[in-house]
Structure 1
Amino acid sequence: MTNPKEIAIAQPAPRRLACSRCGTEFGCDVSGDCWCAEETAKLPMPVKGEDCLCRECLRKAAAEAAVS
């Protein structure tokens, strides 16, 4: 019988995205371990016409939203 603890579960490769604002490419790990989950800057998503933002644009957008 196969031992389930010995079966390696393949993790999907991080998907490659381009920032909706600046076009910078970055990786997104859909397993929940994405870098954006570690960010303190949060925005309501999705914003019409925008998908994910790179770290720098996310921080800029959050700072702009805090001022508004």
Structure 2
Amino acid sequence: MTNRTGTDRLPGEVSQSRCLTCQACGTEFGCDLFGNCWCAEEPAKLPMPAAGGDCLCRDCLRRAAAAHARATSM
């Protein structure tokens, strides 16, 4: 879900993980700014929120993706 601009690290560059709080439920989780985040492995892909929101935790992402799929399949 996070809008990433690149996933390759430069030689010697340190991982830049960040701690996030899910905007939907408040659960804390980690994210790697280089794209090595758990969400990259999720089959569900959603656009970034237009209002400038941030990432969702795994459970909320899956719920939001299911709701999006239901809404767009009608």
TM-score range, shorter chain: 0.7 to 0.9
With the length of structure 2 as denominator, give the TM-score of the two structures: 0.73
| Higher RCO structure (Cα 8 Å, ≥6 apart) | 2
Q: Kindly, what percent of the aligned residue pairs are identical?
A: 61
Structure showing greater radius of gyration is: 1
Report the RMSD for the aligned CA atoms in angstroms: 1.6
1:13-32 Cα shifts (integer Å, max 9, x gaps): 41000000000000000111
Contact 2:16-2:34 within 8 A present in 1 as well: no
Q: Secondary structure at the match of 1:57?
A: helix
Residue matched to 1:41: 44
In structure 1, list runs of 5 or more residues that go unmatched.
1-7
The letter for the 1-side match of 2:12 is: I
Give how far 1:12 is off.
2.8
In structure 2, list runs of 5 or more residues that go unmatched.
1-10
Please identify runs of 4+ aligned residues in structure 1 that moved more than 6 A.
Answer: none
